[in-house]
A = this chain, B = another copy of it.
């Protein structure tokens, strides 16, 4: 008898997914509804979006950001949603072209406005240029992070957005958190969490509505929604220290169900506020001498990176 097919805890139909941490089995339709409610609760719990907000979603064409596009779109008319794709100019495997194509297609299907930043056209260089430049010593993934953070913020500011949403999920966040604890990096700790508020003009707040939704859940979400993310992995993606740390966090979750959520929620609710209060007294933010966007140094890291790449082209 214990072998019989599981039934959906909500409607009694055959269940498609089992969620041990929530003691639920759900059919595919109720699973989709469950995840949408979860994200709605995350938005409420951390006050990520206020009524009437203009939210720009950064779309990569991967499963997380596409799931988030559909979820945010399903949450109704309480806020205004538009999407932003960045053509990073990664030619191999047609990675960037496919990213933009997939992102644009789903926005069109859902009737969500899609805007594109073209790194080559708008800023004169590509991530391929960064990779081949001999003058850039940091790993390409790290430079790409600088680029994406800068161009998405700038586009969101120009669009008059209240916030910029990204697809970072529970696995990303719990892993980075453990790593930041390990390095006791107060600066990175304070900048992590479900929301990084604007610290002045020309800086929109960054929000992570998938903060409490796991990678497995977004994978299941796109699968049951019939969404097909970009198949290619970024050709520059490597086995980084962070991916090794992900293993540790997964093991922790295996041994103690609910650990990932406990880790990130406890941080966001209790530890971060204390660190942030202490930190705000220290951190002054200025304007980049070249572009006018916020930075803590005289010239921002994006402008420095761009200059180096352009000089070595």
Contact = CB atoms under 8 A, between A and B. Distances in A.
A270 B184 contact: yes
Interface in A31-61: none
Given A186-B271, A262-B182, A271-B186, A248 B241 contact: no
> For the complex formed by this chain, how many copies does it contain in all?
2
A255 B262 contact: no
Contacts of A131: none
Contact of A275 (B241, B251, B259, B274): B274
A247 interface: yes
A134 B163 CA distance: 57
A108 interface: no
A274 B244 contact: no
Nearest to A273: B278
Interface in A184-198: 184-186
Contacts of A185: 266
Contacts of A262: 182-184
Taking chain A's interface residues, is the majority helix, strand, or loop, or is none over half, making it mixed? helix
Most buried by B among A186, A247, A251, A266: A266
A256 B28 CA distance: 40
Contacts of A181: 181, 263, 266-267, 271
Interface string A224-243: 00000000000000000100
A92 interface: no
Interface residues of A, number: 28
Contacts of A278: 274, 277-278
Nearest to A270: B184
Contact of A271 (B184, B245, B255, B270): B184
A135 interface: no
A269 interface: yes
Given A183-B266, A274-B278, A278-B278, A252 B248 contact: yes
Interface of A: 181-186, 241, 244-245, 247-248, 251-252, 255-256, 259, 262-263, 265-267, 269-271, 274-275, 277-278
17 contacts: A181-B181, A181-B266, A181-B267, A182-B252, A182-B256, A182-B262, A184-B267, A184-B269, A184-B270, A186-B271, A186-B274, A244-B256, A245-B255, A248-B248, A248-B251, A271-B275, A278-B278
